[in-house]
Amino acid sequence: MSAAGRGLLALLAVAVGLTTWTGCAVVDTPDESAWRDQARQSVEDASSEVQAARLVLVQLTADRVPQAYGVVMLADAEEAAGKVEESLAAVQAPAPVRRLSDDVTALLGRAVDAVRAARVAAVGDTEPAPIVRTDLADVQRQLDAMLGQL
């Protein structure tokens, strides 16, 4: 290989190394477009968990699913929703969308609370209170609306 070729290869190796190294930052600081992409994905994921919880509650109420099965599914939905919330909260939103970021984070928190309430109701072995289903439906509507803003 020629000297120029070796130099180019070394430059490439340094560039790859630097990119990898700087990509390992403790706090993720995306630009606005990248943050919106991440936020949209988080809201969609949370919406999936809320919808899953609603579906399980309907099946539990109709006695079409054993309680143990429903509880496991709701606990899984709660855990997944919690991870979605934590994941986005760890991202530093850029200044122009910081307020929107606060709204999204708060909404994701409400989604986790609503799914948790569903799980608590299912473990209690009583028919879930209508308020639990109403909360899930409300959060679902808010998540859909938030997707429109993102």
Q: Using the minimum distance from each CB to other proteins, give the nearer residue, 96 or 124.
A: 124
> Contact 43/108 with Cβ under 8 angstroms?
yes
Q: Of the listed pieces 6-14, 17-25, 41-49, 92-100, which binds other proteins according to CB under 8 A?
A: 41-49
Of residues 49 through 78, those in contact with other proteins by CB under 8 A are: 51-52, 55-56, 59, 63-69, 71-73, 76
**Phi/psi of residue 28, each to 5°?**
-80, 125
Q: Does 150 bind other proteins (CB under 8 A)?
A: no
Could you tell me the CA-to-CA distances from 23 to 17, 19, 33, 35, 89 in Å, in that order? 10, 6, 18, 16, 18
Determine the Cα angle at 17 with ends 12 and 7, to 5°: 25
Q: Does 127 bind other proteins (CB under 8 A)?
A: no
Q: Does 114 bind other proteins (CB under 8 A)?
A: no
Q: Using the minimum distance from each CB to other proteins, give the nearer residue, 7 or 124.
A: 124
Q: Does 138 bind other proteins (CB under 8 A)?
A: no
In whole angstroms, the minimum distance from the beta carbon of 138 to other proteins comes to 16
> Over 17-50, what HEC string results?
HHHHHHCCCCCECCCHHHHHHHHHHHHHHHHHHH
Residue carrying the six token digits 């429109």: 148
Residues that bind other proteins (CB under 8 A): 41, 44-45, 47-48, 51-52, 55-56, 59, 63-69, 71-73, 76, 80
